């Protein structure tokens, strides 16, 4: 146990916290989301930290050291990319609704089996297992007017 106000006694924890903070700041800038979504960015940064090999443990994954199972990296997607959730209701119930809802990927569920996705129109966060992702387009959620939300498509750093 280290004394108070002496971070030099626990350099590993200080470095890990700094890495998570830097990844969180990067994700917040990449996602183009308001600061109110910081919790999802921190959770995603910690998840990626656990799924990245570390040199201090012979290039093994922290996830593997903890669970002794290899992490499933095929479910990882680019944060902030466009996600489309298809309406799975019966067709006769939703004839006048659009067949898909455009959204933004903001992170992963706690058990890492589902995606956390925010809607462009209503800015409601939902947890979905199945979605289609376009990792080239990065929509921007604008909260300047609470009633009408607009988004801009960013393609390779250029606003169209």
Task: Give the pTM.
Answer: 0.71
Count up the domains in the chain and report the number: 1
Angstrom distance (rounded) from CA 24 to CA 28: 6
Q: What is the pLDDT of residues 91-148, one digit of tens each?
A: 556 566 667 778 999 998 876 678 999 988 888 898 988 888 998 888 877 554 333 3
Structure tokens at 57: 């443990």
Q: What is the pLDDT of residues 11-32, one digit of tens each?
A: 777 888 888 899 999 888 887 7
Strands (DSSP E) along the chain, which ranges? 82-86, 100-108, 115-119, 125-128, 132-134, 137-139, 153-155, 158-159
Please tell me the predicted confidence (pLDDT) of residue 116. 92
Angstrom distance (rounded) from CA 95 to CA 83: 22
Residue 89: inside a domain, yes or no? yes
Residue 3: inside a domain, yes or no? no
Domain residues for the domain of 89 are: 8-159
Please tell me the predicted confidence (pLDDT) of residue 150. 36
Please tell me the predicted confidence (pLDDT) of residue 86. 77
Residue 1: inside a domain, yes or no? no
Residue 56: inside a domain, yes or no? yes
Tell me the average pLDDT across 78-99: 73
Residue 17: inside a domain, yes or no? yes
Residue 2: inside a domain, yes or no? no
């Amino acid at each position: 146990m280290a004394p108070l106000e002496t971070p030099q006694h626990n350099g590993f924890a200080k470095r890990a916290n700094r890495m998570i903070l830097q990844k969180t700041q990067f994700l917040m800038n990449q996602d183009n989301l308001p600061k109110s979504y910081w919790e999802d960015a921190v959770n995603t940064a910690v998840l990626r930290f656990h799924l990245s090999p570390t040199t201090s443990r012979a290039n093994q994954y922290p996830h593997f050291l903890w669970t002794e199972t290899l992490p499933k990296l095929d479910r990882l997607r680019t944060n902030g990319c466009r996600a489309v959730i298809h309406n799975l209701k019966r067709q006769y119930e939703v004839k006048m609704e659009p067949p898909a809802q455009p959204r933004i990927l903001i992170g992963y569920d706690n058990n890492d089996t589902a995606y956390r996705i925010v809607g462009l129109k209503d800015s409601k966060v939902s947890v979905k297992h199945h979605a289609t992702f376009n990792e080239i387009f990065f929509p921007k959620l604008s909260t300047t007017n609470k009633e009408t939300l607009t988004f801009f498509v960013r393609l390779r750093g250029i606003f169209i």
